């Protein structure tokens, strides 16, 4: 609901009196740019966007939210597929200008501001031959990915993004700046690692770093669509047996135009099997060799690249302003019938840019106890992500329907839902149990403790 005119003016006036950054109302020339996020399907109109310059600006925003009670959303990288960074008729607390990364190479830690993206982290940490577990698209925001758990190529070797957070600086609903760690506000620290939004505004993360790079080796094979089912079955076995130094992935996709690829394969539906070795490339050959025996590939893209390039290899395929609807399931090892279902449904996608990605868990993900963080999916073996990707608005209904259709069909074998691939739409408000599992009530109690008046309630309600 939109704020009454007097309340709107008072809110904006109070913000302009205290904020060092930029306060952007509906009449500001930057308004349309400020409300836009990565997903072009999102078209929301907040009352005001505050581009915060520092933690004091965040405190001012939270204070104003507590007094005037607008709907609140918090923007880090603005890359979450459901568009939770921006709301209708409310206040957007925008941290996108707060992107500093400070690395301590001796302690092997990095302090990362809440608006940073993984490209910022990778550039800073790789200068010292170190890496933090992050996402697979460099423009992904650090905050959103981490607070939702944080799947990525390093997860089986070093754990999820949230598993590598040593502490967080948080502005809670009372406007107090707190440190959340194992030693301070441990309940808040527990909840922030996997429960996502609605617990406060995280302005800084401290991550543990791990030696890696500058180069990494990966196996990458492309197969004809008629071989997809057989290759998927072989990959399933290989992924289940892979050591934790391997990040196995499988995809049903159509390769976009990439320099060096043969023209005849561009835009053609294919199956892809990947395995990234997390370690020195010189040690990779034995671990990656089984990926060459999954079938008869039509193209071998295996090789060595830099870690920075590996972390940004899919950036071109999901550009700013594209239209996206993603949903996923955690699951145990898919049986043959499930594989046939996935392959058959993927072949009917309305746009060739849409894809199904299967990522492998286990390893370091399961070395963390199931109750040690709010992330509720320890023990799942795979995550199957149904990624509708398109650019033509005329395909909105067909693309969303395709993704929902496969997601619905896979529900009987689901072990839960990944917050960061939670889609958007009217049904998403009722999926808390799928995301948080047995942790749902504990998270609610912690939210009530730190936000008894519900200042961030609207942010918590959206995936």
Catalogue all structural domains in the chain, each as residue range(s) with its CATH number.
5-94 (3.30.43.10), 101-211+438-461 (3.30.465.10), 215-428 (3.40.462.20)
Map residue 130 onto helix, strand or coil: strand
The pLDDT value recorded for residue 308 is: 96
Q: Report d(CA 235, CA 273) in Å as an integer.
A: 7
**Rounded-to-integer distance, Cα 137 and Cα 315, Å:** 5
- Angle of the 5-18 helix axis to the 55-68 helix axis, nearest 10: 160
| Alpha-carbon gap, residue 171 to 64, rounded angstroms | 13
Query: What beta strand segments (E) does 237-348 contain?
Result: 246-254, 269-277, 299-300, 303-306, 323-331
Tokens for 442, please give them: 């504990």
User: What pLDDT score was predicted for residue 332?
Assistant: 97
Q: Is 211 left (phi over 0), alpha (psi -120 to 50) or beta?
A: beta
For the record, the structure tokens of 23 come out as 């306060």
pLDDT, one tens digit for every residue, the chain (463 residues)? 677 777 778 999 999 999 999 999 999 999 999 999 999 999 999 999 999 999 999 999 999 999 999 999 999 999 999 999 999 999 999 999 999 999 999 999 999 999 999 999 999 999 999 999 998 999 999 999 999 999 999 999 999 999 999 999 999 999 999 999 999 999 999 999 999 888 999 999 999 999 999 999 999 999 999 999 999 999 999 999 999 999 999 999 998 887 778 888 888 899 999 999 999 999 999 999 999 999 999 999 999 999 999 999 889 889 999 999 999 999 999 999 999 999 999 999 999 999 999 999 999 999 999 999 999 999 999 999 999 999 999 999 999 999 999 999 999 999 999 999 887 654 444 456 789 999 999 999 999 999 999 999 877 665 5
Q: What is residue 427's predicted lDDT score, i.e. its pLDDT?
A: 42
The candidate with the shortest Cα–Cα distance to 58, out of 15, 120, 87, is 15
pTM equals 0.95
Q: Distance between CA 351 and CA 94 in Å, rounded?
A: 33
Q: How many residues does the chain have?
A: 463
Burial state string for 81-115 with b = 16 or more CB within 10 A and e = fewer than 16: bbbbbbbeebbbbbbbebbebebeeeebbbbbbbb
What pLDDT does residue 218 have? 97
Closest CA to 221 of 273, 179, 258: 273
Nearest to 205, CA basis, from 356, 56, 102, 84: 102
């Amino acid at each position: 609901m939109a704020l009454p005119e007097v309340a709107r003016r008072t809110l904006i006036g109070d913000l302009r009196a205290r904020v060092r950054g930029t306060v952007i109302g509906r009449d500001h020339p930057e308004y349309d740019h400020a409300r836009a996020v990565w997903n072009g399907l999102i078209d929301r109109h907040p009352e005001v966007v505050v581009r915060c310059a520092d933690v004091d600006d965040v405190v001012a925003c939270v204070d104003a939210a507590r007094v005037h009670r607008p709907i609140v959303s918090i923007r880090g990288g603005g890359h979450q597929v459901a568009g939770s960074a921006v709301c209708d008729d409310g206040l957007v607390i925008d941290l996108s200008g707060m992107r500093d990364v400070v690395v301590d190479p001796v302690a092997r830690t990095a302090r990362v501001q809440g608006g940073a993206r993984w490209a910022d982290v990778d550039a800073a940490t790789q200068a010292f031959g170190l890496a933090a577990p992050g996402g697979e698209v460099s423009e992904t925001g650090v905050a959103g990915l981490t607070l939702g758990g944080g799947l990525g190529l390093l997860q089986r070797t070093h754990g999820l993004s949230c598993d590598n957070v040593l502490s967080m600086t948080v502005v809670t609903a009372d406007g107090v700046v707190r440190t959340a760690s194992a030693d301070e506000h441990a309940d808040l620290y527990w909840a922030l690692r996997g429960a996502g939004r609605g617990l406060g505004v995280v302005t800084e993360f401290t991550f543990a770093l791990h030696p890696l790079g500058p180069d990494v080796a990966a196996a990458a094979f492309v197969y004809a669509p008629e071989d997809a089912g057989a290759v998927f079955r072989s990959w399933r076995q290989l992924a289940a047996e892979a050591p934790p130094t391997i990040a196995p992935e499988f995809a049903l996709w159509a390769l976009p135009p990439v320099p060096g690829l043969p023209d005849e394969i561009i835009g053609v539906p294919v199956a892809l099997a990947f395995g990234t070795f997390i370690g020195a490339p010189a040690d990779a050959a034995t671990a990656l060799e089984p990926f060459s025996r999954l079938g008869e590939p039509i193209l071998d893209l295996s090789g060595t690249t830099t870690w920075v390039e590996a972390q940004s290899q899919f950036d071109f395929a999901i550009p700013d302003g594209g239209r996206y609807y993603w949903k996923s399931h955690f699951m145990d090892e898919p049986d043959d019938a499930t594989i046939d279902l996935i392959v058959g449904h993927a072949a009917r996608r309305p746009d060739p840019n849409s894809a199904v990605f299967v990522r492998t868990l286990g390893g370091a993900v399961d070395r963390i106890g199931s109750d040690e963080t709010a992330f509720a999916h320890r023990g799942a073996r795979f995550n199957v992500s149904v990624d509708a990707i398109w650019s033509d608005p005329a395909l909105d209904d067909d693309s969303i329907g395709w993704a929902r259709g496969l997601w619905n069909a896979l529900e009987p074998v689901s072990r839960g839902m990944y917050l960061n691939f939670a889609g958007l739409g009217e049904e998403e408000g009722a999926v808390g149990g799928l995301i948080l599992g047995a942790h749902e009530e504990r998270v609610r109690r912690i939210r009530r403790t730190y936000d008894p008046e519900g200042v961030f309630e609207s942010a918590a309600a959206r995936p």
